[in-house]
């Protein structure tokens, strides 16, 4: 994203120009400098240049849409977790670069609003909300994935379980060295992107990065090898993690808690399904950044109301 006042030239006639192609504006970079904006001096030049610009514009637009999907998924997971938190967190404290989380015994029904009184620091809040939630977030995101991923026409979607570099100062109590973290790799054309909506638990604010950048900056050892690929991720499965846990559970108390989580998950799924049956993915993901964020804001508000009502009625 250029921040200087450098003079730009029309992609068609070369004259000084400033009207940016709105289709690909502010696209994320895959390689350094590969998402610079395209400008025109007038609509006529833009029209004449379209056959040339089209492939690049469409590829950049896919990146923008993928980034927006990541933004929505992360916002949805955080909103959901803040109202239907499945862990009994009783205290949190930063000490020596480590975030110490204290957990109480599991109560029933096992889900409740996140204890907002424990911190006013947004980053620490997110870290606690997303701690150990990478799998749950994938499954929770299933109805969103189902409706939105087709808009970017991904060639493959793969789950990766990779060892992460432990990060200071967000290292969490008892985090093992190089903890294994579940992320999603999405292939758009010949580009490989990493979607990581729960990376904040390791101090990563970014939810979308090119694979090569993610490898270099987040992964212990710096390379994602074949052994970390878990195959084509079933983006249609919204309950697989909980169903498996319920099958394995030994105690009635645990089964009760997991069943409550499953009901909450399905309640969210129903809502998300209805929401995205009423608005097409392309419409939801398009428009200006401001328009898009306002759509996400309204979605998030609805999720919070929905889940708060659900928890209090249970
Ligand atoms: Zn021109
Ligand atoms: Zn464009």
DSSP letter for each residue of 12-45: TT-SB--EE-TTSTTPPPSSTTTTPPPEESSHHH
For the chain, the domains span 63-313
Classify residue 4 as exposed, middle or buried by CB count within 10 Å of its CB (0-12, 13-18, 19+): exposed
Task: Please name which ligand lies nearest the alpha carbon of 61.
Answer: 2
CA of 155 to the centre of ligand 1 (A): 35
Sorting pLDDT into bands at 50, 70 and 90, what band is 175? low
Task: Please name which ligand lies nearest the alpha carbon of 12.
Answer: 1
- Spatial CA neighbour of 263 closest among 208, 211, 197, 307: 307
Q: What is the pLDDT of residues 221-256, one digit of tens each?
A: 889 988 899 887 788 899 988 999 999 988 888 888
CA of 51 to the centre of ligand 2 (A): 11
Mean pLDDT of 128-138: 91
Q: What is the pLDDT of residue 46?
A: 96
Instruction: Quickly count: other Cβ atoms within 10 Å of residue 102's Cβ.
Output: 12
Q: What is the pLDDT of residues 144-172, one digit of tens each?
A: 999 999 999 999 999 999 998 867 666 66
The proportion of the chain whose per-residue pLDDT surpasses 70, expressed as a percent, equals: 94
Sorting pLDDT into bands at 50, 70 and 90, what band is 3? low
Mean pLDDT of 17-35: 94
Ramachandran bin of 286, using left for φ above 0, alpha for ψ from -120 to 50, beta for the remaining angles: beta
Sorting pLDDT into bands at 50, 70 and 90, what band is 174? low
Instruction: Tell me the β-bridge partners of 39.
Output: 20
Task: Please name which ligand lies nearest the alpha carbon of 42.
Answer: 1
Q: What is the pLDDT of residues 48-78, one digit of tens each?
A: 999 999 999 999 999 999 999 999 999 999 9
Q: What is the pLDDT of residue 294?
A: 97
Tell me what the pLDDT averaged over the chain comes to: 91
Q: What is the pLDDT of residues 274-290, one digit of tens each?
A: 999 999 999 999 999 99
Task: Please name which ligand lies nearest the alpha carbon of 58.
Answer: 2
Residues with C-beta atoms within 5 A of ion ligand 1: 10, 12-13, 41, 45
Segment 70-75 long-range contacts (CB within 8 Å, at least 24 positions apart): 70/195, 70/197, 70/207, 70/208, 71/207, 71/296, 72/144, 72/148, 72/284, 72/296, 72/299, 73/137, 73/141, 73/144, 73/145, 73/195, 73/197, 73/207, 74/197, 74/198, 74/207, 75/296, 75/299, 75/300
Q: What is the pLDDT of residue 101?
A: 86
Q: What is the pLDDT of residue 76?
A: 98
Tell me: pLDDT of 12 over 80: yes
Sorting pLDDT into bands at 50, 70 and 90, what band is 313? confident
Lowest mean pLDDT among 96-100, 148-152, 183-187, 275-279: 96-100
CA of 189 to the centre of ligand 1 (A): 30
CA of 59 to the centre of ligand 1 (A): 23
CA of 80 to the centre of ligand 1 (A): 48
Write down the pTM of the prediction.
0.93
Q: What is the pLDDT of residue 5?
A: 67
Task: Please name which ligand lies nearest the alpha carbon of 56.
Answer: 2
Q: What is the pLDDT of residue 296?
A: 98
Instruction: Quickly count: other Cβ atoms within 10 Å of residue 235's Cβ.
Output: 21
CA of 196 to the centre of ligand 2 (A): 27
Task: Please name which ligand lies nearest the alpha carbon of 14.
Answer: 1
Mean pLDDT of 5-28: 92
Tell me: pLDDT of 99 over 60: yes
């Amino acid at each position: 994203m250029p921040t200087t006042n450098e003079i730009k030239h029309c992609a068609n006639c070369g004259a000084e120009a400033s009207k940016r192609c709105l289709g690909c504006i502010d696209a994320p970079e895959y390689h350094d400098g590969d998402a610079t904006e395209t400008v025109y001096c007038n609509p006529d030049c833009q029209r004449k240049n379209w056959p040339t610009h089209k492939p690049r514009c469409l590829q950049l637009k896919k990146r923008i849409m993928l980034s927006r999907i990541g933004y929505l998924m992360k916002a949805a997971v955080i909103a959901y977790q803040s109202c239907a938190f499945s862990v009994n967190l009783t205290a949190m404290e930063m000490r020596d670069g480590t975030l110490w989380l204290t957990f109480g015994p599991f109560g029933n029904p096992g889900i409740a609003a996140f204890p907002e009184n424990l911190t006013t620091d947004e980053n620490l809040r997110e870290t606690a909300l997303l701690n150990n939630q990478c799998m749950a977030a994938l499954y929770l995101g299933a109805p969103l994935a189902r409706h939105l991923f087709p808009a970017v026409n991904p060639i493959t979607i793969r789950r990766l379980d990779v060892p992460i570099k432990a990060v200071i100062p967000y290292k969490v109590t008892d985090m093992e060295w190089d903890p294994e973290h579940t992320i999603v790799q999405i292939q758009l054309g010949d580009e490989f992107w990493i979607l990581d909506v729960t990376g904040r638990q390791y101090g990563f604010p970014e939810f979308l990065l090119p694979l090569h950048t993610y490898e270099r900056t987040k992964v212990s050892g710096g390379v994602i090898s074949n052994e970390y690929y878990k195959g084509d991720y079933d983006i249609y499965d919204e309950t697989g993690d909980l169903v498996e846990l319920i099958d394995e559970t030994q105690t009635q108390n645990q089964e009760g808690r997991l069943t409550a989580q499953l009901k909450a998950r399905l309640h969210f799924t129903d809502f998300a399904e209805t929401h995205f049956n009423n608005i097409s993915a392309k419409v939801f993901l398009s428009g200006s950044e401001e328009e898009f964020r306002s759509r996400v804001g309204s979605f998030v508000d609805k999720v919070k109301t929905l889940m708060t009502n659900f928890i209090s009625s249970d």
